[in-house]
Amino acid sequence: MRFHSLFLLVLSLLGTAALAADTSDAGLPPPAKAECGPELGEAQRAVAEGRLDEALVLARKSAEGCPGARLLAARLLARQAQFDEASTFLERELLSPAPSPGAFELLVSLFPRLSPARQEQVVALGASREAPLHVGGLAQANLWLTDIVCRERRLDKLDTKDVRGSGLGSYGFECPPGVPRQVFFFMTEPRSPRRPASGKGAGLAVERVLPELGSRFGIHSTQELREAVEGPLSADRGSVWLLSWLKDYPSQLPLLTQMVRESPDDLDAVVNLSNIQILFGDLKGALRTLDAVPLDTVTLKDSRGNVMGTSALFSMRCRALLQQRKLKEAEAACRTALERGSKKNGPETLALVLYLRGQDAEALRFIRASLADTQKNPAGHFLHGLILRSLGKPEEAALAWKAAADYGLTPTVEAQRKRSRENWVRAMEAYQRKQTAEELAFCGHYYLDLEFPERAEVCFARAESLHPGPAAAERLIHQAESDPVAALRATDALLRKERNPALLYVMAFGLQRENQPALALRWLDESLRGDPSQPGARELLTRICKQLSQPDCLEQFRKGK
Burial-class residue 100 by CB neighbours within 10 Å (0-12, 13-18, 19+): buried
pLDDT digits (tens, 9 = 90+) for 433-454: 999 999 999 999 999 999 999 9
Angstrom distance (rounded) from CA 135 to CA 238:
15
Q: What is the pLDDT of residue 55?
A: 84
Instruction: Confirm if 128 and 184 have CB atoms less than 8 A apart.
Output: yes
Provide CB contacts within 8 A for 288, sequence distance 6+: none
Cα–Cα distances in Å, from 403 out to 398, 400, 488, 533? 9, 5, 34, 13
Closest CA to 280 of 234, 320, 232: 320
Q: What is the pTM of this model?
A: 0.72
Percent of the chain with pLDDT over 90: 50
pLDDT band at 160 (very low <50, low <70, confident <90, very high): low
* Interior/surface letters 375-399, b for 16+ CB within 10 angstroms, e for the rest: eebbbbbbbbbbbbbbeebeebbee
Closest CA to 104 of 172, 183, 14: 14
Pairing of strands 133-135, 180-187: parallel
Q: What is the pLDDT of residue 59?
A: 83
How many CB atoms within 10 Å of residue 470? 25
* DSSP codes of every residue in 364-405: HHHHHHHHHH-S--HHHHHHHHHHHHHTT-HHHHHHHHHHTT
How many CB atoms within 10 Å of residue 74? 29
The HSE-up count of residue 380 (CA atoms within 13 Å, CB side) is 22
Q: What is the pLDDT of residue 27?
A: 36
Q: What is the pLDDT of residue 195?
A: 43
pLDDT digits (tens, 9 = 90+) for 102-141: 888 889 888 888 999 999 999 999 988 899 988 877 777 8
Angstrom distance (rounded) from CA 521 to CA 167:
51
Closest CA to 108 of 224, 10, 4, 2: 10
Instruction: Confirm if 449 and 205 have CB atoms less than 8 A apart.
Output: yes
Mean pLDDT across the stretch 9-26?
A: 31
Amino acid, res. 402: K
Cis, peptide link before residue 176, omega less than 30° from 0:
yes
Angstrom distance (rounded) from CA 296 to CA 190:
46
Mean pLDDT across the stretch 400-408?
A: 93
* Interior/surface letters 227-255, b for 16+ CB within 10 angstroms, e for the rest: bbbeeebbbbbbbbbbbebbbbbbbbbeb
pLDDT band at 389 (very low <50, low <70, confident <90, very high): very high
pLDDT above 80 (res 521) = yes
pLDDT digits (tens, 9 = 90+) for 52-108: 888 888 888 888 878 888 888 888 998 888 999 999 999 998 998 888 888 888 898
Q: What is the pLDDT of residue 23?
A: 28
Q: What is the pLDDT of residue 11?
A: 34
